[in-house]
Structure 1
Amino acid sequence: MASQKLNDPIPVVSKLKKNVFILFGVLIGLLLLSTIVLAILFSIEKSKTTISIKAVENNLCVTPFCIKAANYLLESIDESVQPCEDFFQFACGTWLKNNRIPDDTGAQDTFNILRTQLDNNVVDILTSELPNDSIKIKAIENARLLYNACVNESAIEAAGVDTILSVLENELGGWPILNGLSWDEKKFNLSNLLLKLREYNNNIIFNCGTSTDDKNSSAYFIRISQSDLALEQRQYYLNETKLTNAYRQFMYDLAASLTNDTTAIDKDVQDIYEFEKKISLFHWTAAEQRARQSEIVRTTIGNLSRLFNTSFDFTNYLRQTYRLANVTLSDNDNVSVSEVEFLRNVSLIIDQHSPRVVQNYLIWRFMMNRAANMPKRYRTIREQFDRVLRGTNAERPRSISCGSYVNINMGFAVAKLYIKKYFDENAKNQSLEMIHNIRSSFIEMLEESTWMDDISKRKAIEKALAIDEKIGYPDYLNSNNVTQLEEDYAQYTFTDSYIHNTLKILKIKSKENFKILRETVDRKAWGASPPTVVNAFYTPSKNQIAFPAGIFQLPFFNKDAPK
């Protein structure tokens, strides 16, 4: 067989073999590359799994919510401070630095931040287009009418103060400080004046109303106690300060803005202040009220006069007050009297002062609150006082203050809209589950305790099992049946006159409190506070806990948070 020369052409079969070898090499390379890539990916996933397993083993939460929550905490602390040296600065330093106090409030905290958000939500639902199923609900319609009248500044300015001045002169016997020396003290009748002020829901000096009976939580009784002070705390009257000066200036400026006769204002302002200062000396602080619970006296309407040896007839005053709501008191109606010492001493102080001073003071306290319902120039006078009392630098935006006003007075109508737009139903179910778990753990701890006797354990467990939990809102608000809502707000019918609406609400609220005296306490009913508040409550007389819809916001609650 002849040998092949070097320059002879390569046979076709040899070419095919060479191509096969090249292709095979490429495939081997691709396979090797894929193996490397898969190995890297596997390593990454294994690393993630290892981290996840370690997180579980170490009881760590690495969900998006937990990372967000951890970031919130990290952004609040000040790591430049040693916690053992100043724990408050360590825990809150950066939060304090990043959260300034708003001009229209005297403080800032998490509650205030959430309340601001809720206030904005309330304004939104009072001004947005209504859902189809809410258009014909009268309660919601009147809530929006009340809001619109409140924000209508031009109408408020046009109305002026004639309505308020008419109430002062024709219903309350006049405000002497506005009449100069011409005020006739023969008009003065303390009982009638206090009665009329109570009709407008003003408890001044003496506080009276209906409360749940301390001895029988299924019934109501009458309660008499001290009322509040204009400066809130007794200590603020002890020395002359910027606050006491601002308070007297508030009196002077408001009175001067309402009259052309300023001849008696200076003396009247000083007399009013001195009168209240004397009252403040006997005013009980909150700590004193808690410490002296045993001094509360329980009696009846028939025996009330024996308790008070004063010139002021408390018995007749209460009978007339409840008659405003067509409730006739009997001699057997129970009465609880708190701060008896204050009531007796203040009754003596009233006897020692002229009708002019007492009339001036009582009307002043009424007008002090009404300044917020008057045109802008009068609200500004109040605002200047609040800057000293509250530490504010500006009035709240009108839309926010009006939304809050509607929410305070017609909160359940507002909540009807709020829960549909802003409340997550998951929150209700999760909260009930959490409460169940907490209750079970608590009972287990009670049963295992060694320091309690068996009778005490049984009573404690019985009470724990009987706790009535209210989550989010009362069930009727999420129902198509609006009968209860409409009945509750049947009297709340409004016009475009803000001041008339305000005075009407005051009368309604007063009568509502008196009317419930003859009703039976519904221990399962939702409390007085509406769902649209950032707060939570425990009512001892009902053994009830309530978590309103408004508080179900970060950082207090989130459906994605770990249990």
Structure 2
Amino acid sequence: MKTESSTTTLEGLNKKPSFGLYLKKSIIPIVILLSIFIISTKVLDFLLALQKGNNDLCQSQFCIKAANHLINSIDQSVDPCDNFYQFTCGKWLKNNRTSEDEDKWKFPGIILDENIIDLLSTNETVKLQSVMNARILYSSCINETNIEKEGIDPILSLINTQFGGWPILQGSSWKSSTFNLTNLLLKLHQYNYNFIFSISSEVDEKNSSATTIFIGQGSLGLSQRQYYAKETNITIAYRQFMYSVAKALTNDTLMIDQDIKEIFDFEKNISKYHWTYDEQQARYNKTIRTTISDLSRTLKTSFDFTTYIRHLYLFGNVILNEFDLVTIKELDFLINVVSIMNKTSSRIIQNYFIWRFLMNQSEYMPKYIRNIKEQFHQVFQDTYVEELRTVKCAVYVNKHMGLVVSKLYIKRKFIEENARNQSLKMIENIRNSFMSLINQSYWMDDTSKMKAIEKVKAMDKKIAYPDYLASDNNTKLENDYSLYVFNTSYIYNTFKIHQMKAIENFQFLRKPVVRKAWPSISPTIINAYYDLSENQIIIPAGILQMPFFHKDAPKYLNYGGIGMIIGHEITHGFDNTGRQFDKDGNRIPWWTNETIEKFNERKQCFIEQYSNFSISEVNMNSNGNQTQDEDIADNGGLKAAFYAYQNWIKNNVNIDKKLPGLTQYSNEQMFFIHFGYTWCTRLSVSHIFNRLITDVHSLAHFRVIGSTSNFDEFDQVFGCKPGQRNSRVKKCIAW
């Protein structure tokens, strides 16, 4: 997820094989499995033979395994100067059937999921209440017998008693006189659902030591307005999703068709005013800052936002005062949506909001409802195998009780202290190389350059996990999760979690901002982050494994893997959004106008470069405006990591050994090869289409080609000449 306060690196990268495939290998013909085994064995035998008598080779089992995976990925028939992504990934992409070992190496989420399942399902005795509750939550999730037994009654009871019912189920008997929009929205927000209107407590962008109430646009059922522009198989599947759910819950079908048409038309009308991500970035100057006392004069609509927000925060026992700061974004969306609702019947509005609630809750419901949702996702996200229940439940518990899961993860020693220490040293080396990049940026004036270096030096780093999780003092962990008490009913447990998350966010408004603390991010995830308001990079424990990192790997593999990711996160502090936040995380001007103008010229080069990348499968181009921050971070991160590796080599001569079977490549070439390998990704046409519309990251092959084609050192290492397909004549350079 990318928000104003944080950015992520790996969206779309750690895409596992088709859901459940890695634990359902029986679908692969035995002949193919046997062939893979024989080929892999022969390669390993060959590599082992190469080791004998050669001191320049890395002779560890790890290096032999790493070499095997890279050899099975590199397509030597492709010129790296022509298409570096195809060169590093070509053989892997052609091999549609990969072994379980290959999948686990390439997709570390598989191993992570298996480890979390093991941690949550064990019967070992523990004294920590938080751990016991995490396991109770997991147990309730995998208990499908009980989920089926409870059925849909808990959901329908909540809808009827608290939300005012779902008219589509009640047909003509639903009474519009019972409709109360304010009460409906209040109840939905109390379950942490922000449909149409998003209201939350956030760190104030202008003052990172304070908080603000944020008001902006909420979510759409299909996430982005582009999906509603014309009739497609996705919009048809979306309406079928509505119909199938309604049909499964009632026998009264007389008004279903008309109700569904009106629900969709209402959302389609709203979507016309929904801001895209690049519009949100470009229109930041339209953000409005006001107070509770002036909110009604600022947000002039028939909907009383002031009274509504006061009542909403009371759910978290927070009493608002006249001087509480309010930040409003997407103002014209809010005004237009209120105007649309004023002209829309209460039945349509009630139907719409309950539909959105059911759409989100469907994954917690009995299997026949979940199957309906899966059918929709087969079209929307091109998923044809449902994720194993144990995996889904492990992910759910890790999402909501991640620090508890991480406590167990650390205790079981799935991550070693040595990995953490190595990562800290790499961060220092890469940070130093990035400061050198700033010093070499002739387009910056001295004042802006000095402040930029100060920001890099002030950048906080959080590696693997917070220290307190590794200690024997569990007071903080137990206190933080003291309210996370669950029973055997999964659906009621999900209700409770939604309400707790809402209350936690409301109460955040009154809590002091604790700077430099570990953020609300689970260490047991495979991703990396930069927090704008904290000026902080976060490298969770989950990503400190292959293909990104291994404690015994040659440094060219680690710097090409996790090193590039570290550099990427550092560069986020200086992309088009990050450069607007100073070293203390405040969104205030700190560059001179001349430097900003020069940066914008360089930024435009990236926008144009990435917008020219075309995808024939969907007949679309990348959106360089949408991906500009991530593209700049990719380019800066690759450079910072490469230069850091070169500096490491100078101080550690002849330490890095070559990999068996890959001795023809220099260590610097191996840095780039492993960088490319980490981004080898297979995507279906539906996934490509979804990513182009919704993701702020470029597609994987453009991340590899785009960054290497802009890098002079890549040309030198591989002997490329500007003008070849993987070497731009006009290179885009920000850092």
* TM-score, scaled to structure 2: 0.66
Q: Which residue of 2 aligns with 1:192?
A: 183
1:145–1:494 Cα contact (<8 Å) kept: yes
Distance 1:207 1:200 in 2: 13
1:457 maps to 2:470: no
Q: 1:156/1:101 Cα in 2 relative to 1: closer, same or farther (>3 Å)?
A: farther
Q: Which residue of 2 aligns with 1:116?
A: 110
Distance 2:172 2:441 in 1: 73
1:429 maps to 2:421: yes
SS in 1 for 2:249: coil
Matched letter for residue 417 of structure 2: E
Q: 1:64/1:211 Cα in 2 relative to 1: closer, same or farther (>3 Å)?
A: same
Q: 1:300/1:139 Cα in 2 relative to 1: closer, same or farther (>3 Å)?
A: same
1:321 maps to 2:318: no
Q: Deviations over 1:100-154 (max 9, x none)?
A: 699xxxxx99998222221111101001243x6xx01000000000010111111
Q: Which residue of 1 aligns with 2:549?
A: 557
Distance 2:440 2:147 in 1: 65
Q: Deviations over 1:12-68 (max 9, x none)?
A: xxxxxxxxxxxxxxxxxxxxxxxxxxxxxxxxxxx988x64xx5xxxx867654554
Picking from 483, 487, 512, the partner of 2:479 is 487
**Deviation larger for 314-323 or 79-88:** 79-88
Instruction: Give the 5 Å matches for 1:79-158.
Output: 79-99=76-96, 113-130=107-124, 135-158=126-149
2:316–2:503 Cα contact (<8 Å) kept: yes
Q: 1:425/1:311 Cα in 2 relative to 1: closer, same or farther (>3 Å)?
A: same
1:118–1:550 Cα contact (<8 Å) kept: yes
2:106–2:547 Cα contact (<8 Å) kept: no
Picking from 234, 240, 264, the partner of 2:255 is 264
Matched letter for residue 120 of structure 1: E
1:238 maps to 2:229: yes
SS in 1 for 2:537: strand
Q: Deviations over 1:187-231 (max 9, x none)?
A: 111111000000011101000101111011111111111111111
Q: 1:294/1:90 Cα in 2 relative to 1: closer, same or farther (>3 Å)?
A: same
SS in 2 for 1:221: strand
Matched letter for residue 279 of structure 1: I
Q: 1:449/1:349 Cα in 2 relative to 1: closer, same or farther (>3 Å)?
A: closer
Q: Which residue of 2 aligns with 1:26?
A: none
Q: 1:487/1:353 Cα in 2 relative to 1: closer, same or farther (>3 Å)?
A: same
Q: Which residue of 2 aligns with 1:391?
A: 382
SS in 2 for 1:518: coil
2:167–2:174 Cα contact (<8 Å) kept: yes
SS in 2 for 1:171: helix
Picking from 166, 177, 187, the partner of 2:157 is 166
SS in 2 for 1:319: helix
Distance 2:542 2:144 in 1: 29
Matched letter for residue 147 of structure 1: Y
Distance 1:347 1:109 in 2: 49
Q: Which has the larger radius of gyration?
A: 1
The structural deviation recorded for 1:527 is 0.9
Q: 1:101/1:243 Cα in 2 relative to 1: closer, same or farther (>3 Å)?
A: farther
Q: Which residue of 1 aligns with 2:705?
A: none
Instruction: Give the 5 Å matches for 1:347-358.
Output: 347-358=338-349
**Deviation larger for 198-207 or 308-317:** 308-317
Q: Which residue of 1 aligns with 2:496?
A: 504
SS in 2 for 1:365: helix
Q: 1:156/1:429 Cα in 2 relative to 1: closer, same or farther (>3 Å)?
A: same
Distance 1:390 1:426 in 2: 39
Q: Deviations over 1:400-453 (max 9, x none)?
A: 111111111111111100122211111111111111222333345545665544
Distance 2:542 2:181 in 1: 42
Picking from 408, 419, 432, the partner of 1:417 is 408
Q: Which residue of 2 aligns with 1:338?
A: 329
Distance 1:98 1:128 in 2: 36
The structural deviation recorded for 1:374 is 0.8
Q: 1:274/1:420 Cα in 2 relative to 1: closer, same or farther (>3 Å)?
A: same
Q: Which residue of 2 aligns with 1:33?
A: none
Matched letter for residue 474 of structure 1: P
Matched letter for residue 345 of structure 1: N
Q: Matched residues, percent identical?
A: 53
1:303 maps to 2:300: no
Distance 1:303 1:101 in 2: 61
Q: Which residue of 1 aligns with 2:693?
A: none
* TM-score, scaled to structure 1: 0.85
The structural deviation recorded for 1:474 is 0.6
1:252–1:266 Cα contact (<8 Å) kept: yes
1:219–1:519 Cα contact (<8 Å) kept: no
Uncovered stretches (5+) of structure 1, i.e. residues with no partner: 1-46, 103-107
2:105–2:547 Cα contact (<8 Å) kept: no
Distance 2:165 2:105 in 1: 42
2:105–2:546 Cα contact (<8 Å) kept: no
The structural deviation recorded for 1:553 is 0.7
Picking from 464, 468, 471, the partner of 1:472 is 464
Q: Which residue of 2 aligns with 1:78?
A: 75
